[in-house]
Amino acid sequence: MMIPTIPTPDELLDKGFRRGKKAADLMRTQKIPKHLKGKKIEETRVVTSCQVIKDKLKSILDSVPEIEELPMFYQDYIDITVGVDDMKQALGALNWAYGIITQLEKEYGAKIRKNPSERATSFQKQAYGRLASVVNKIKKDLDFLDFAKANLRNMPTIDFDATTIVIAGFPNVGKSTLLKQLSGADPQVANYPFTTKGIQIGHVERHWKHIQIIDTPGLLDRPVLEMNDIELNAMVALEHLADTILFIFDASETCGFSLESQYNLLKQIEQVFSEIPIIYLFNKMDIVKDVEDQEYIKPYVDEFDDAIFISAIDGEGIEKISKKFDTIKKIERESEDDFY
């Protein structure tokens, strides 16, 4: 979302008044009958100031799409990041100001035109007073939108037609390494609430099918039970995106987490994303070598019929993952049907 620069009330008024003055000065140089000139100057001053301020408000309003019409993922994203209700309230206030300024513009334009020119300047001053009062009333809304602009900058660009895979697994199990192996080029990095480094989105083309793979450091790499409500929301928002979860075990345990705690993490993620299929990967097999010789791994491997064994660092087993991707079905979601 590209929200334009948000001015303070003073900046907005300064700009409006400055441009009003400029237009009025220009009017002074025009050939206009003397008895009309004073009125014309003040009318121009008022109308121009109103127009300039309205234009700025409109450019802000136009930059934010109708929130209810956005895909659920973005609605959740905005809600978690800045709050949907606060956002609507601020936009509503700008809209209100826009309407009032339109009325002022008409009202004072007419007053200046219809009254003797001696009164023109006094009407213009009144108009400016009311304009300033309206703009000052939306101070907190402009402040909020400035905050929203900063926080909604670099929102992830999601292709909602693509098949989407979300990677999960403890830190250092090899998520970033795998993402790089699968998608080659450097992934897109976007902001995401409660992720320190943002999320990474890699892209894969497979038989003309676009697949996006998302890594969310800080969200799907830690025990769900330790999360607060907002973090939970941030994680659950991913449910609107994921067609499949790729859960990575570090079979070597060199990540510092035992297979038992990795398995517990998986169970928690399975609970949260109960509707989403999971692909199970055992990574770092270059260190482990033969699973059959490793008693500590066997009970975990035996849990799954179709686990894939890989070495992300060597690219070993990557093709097996890609083949698995071909079988992923895109999840049809109600909310997205509503969207179209």
Ligand X SMILES: Nc1nc2c(ncn2[C@@H]2O[C@H](COP(=O)(O)OP(=O)(O)O)[C@@H](O)[C@H]2O)c(=O)[nH]1
Binding mask 119-158 for Mg ion (x = CB under 5 A): ----------------------------------------
User: Between residues 76 and 221, which has the closer beta carbon with respect to Mg ion?
Assistant: 221
Task: For residue 165, state whether it binds ligand X (rule: CB under 6 A).
Answer: no
Closest Cα to residue 112, out of 58, 48, 54?
Answer: 48
Distance CA 158, CA 241 (A): 9
Q: How far is the CB of 322 from ligand X (least distance, A)?
A: 16
Task: For residue 171, state whether it binds ligand X (rule: CB under 6 A).
Answer: yes
User: Between residues 49 and 311, which has the closer beta carbon with respect to ligand X?
Assistant: 311
Q: State which of positions 250-289 bind ligand X (CB under 6 A).
A: 283-284, 286-287
Task: For residue 173, state whether it binds ligand X (rule: CB under 6 A).
Answer: yes
Q: How far is the CB of 241 from ligand X (least distance, A)?
A: 19
Q: Which of 81, 124, 163, 176 binds Mg ion (CB under 5 A)?
A: 176
Q: Which residues contact 86 (CB under 8 A, 6 or more apart)?
A: 144
CB atoms inside a 10 Å sphere around CB 295: 8
Binding mask 174-203 for ligand X (x = CB under 6 A): xxxx--------------------------
Q: Which of the listed partners (Mg ion, ligand X, none) does 44 bind, with a CB threshold of 5 to 8 Å by partner kind? A: none
Distance CA 248, CA 134 (A): 56
Task: For residue 307, state whether it binds ligand X (rule: CB under 6 A).
Answer: no
Closest Cα to residue 243, out of 170, 169, 160?
Answer: 160
Q: How far is the CB of 166 from ligand X (least distance, A)?
A: 13
Q: Which DSSP string do the residues of 196-214 spell out, in sequence order? A: SS-EEEEEEEETTEEEEEE
CA dihedral over 139, 140, 143, 148, signed as positive or negative: negative
Q: State which of positions 309-328 bind ligand X (CB under 6 A).
A: 311-313
Pick the piece of the chain touching Mg ion (CB under 5 A) from 68-76, 173-181, 201-209, 297-305.
Answer: 173-181
Q: Dihedral (C-alpha) 255, 261, 267, 270: value to the nearest 10 degrees?
A: -20
Q: How far is the CB of 138 from ligand X (least distance, A)?
A: 44
Q: Which residues contact 180 (CB under 8 A, 6 or more apart)?
A: 186, 187, 202
User: Between residues 174 and 317, which has the closer beta carbon with respect to Mg ion?
Assistant: 174
Q: Which of the listed partners (ligand X, Mg ion, none) does 69 bind, with a CB threshold of 5 to 8 Å by partner kind? A: none
Q: b/e for 94-117, b at 16 or more Cβ within 10 A?
A: beebbebbeebbeebbebbeeeeb
Distance from the first to the final alpha carbon of the chain: 19
By the 8 A CB rule, do 273 and 216 touch? Answer: no
User: Between residues 59 and 258, which has the closer beta carbon with respect to ligand X?
Assistant: 258
Binding residues vs ligand X (CB under 6 A): 169, 171-177, 283-284, 286-287, 311-313
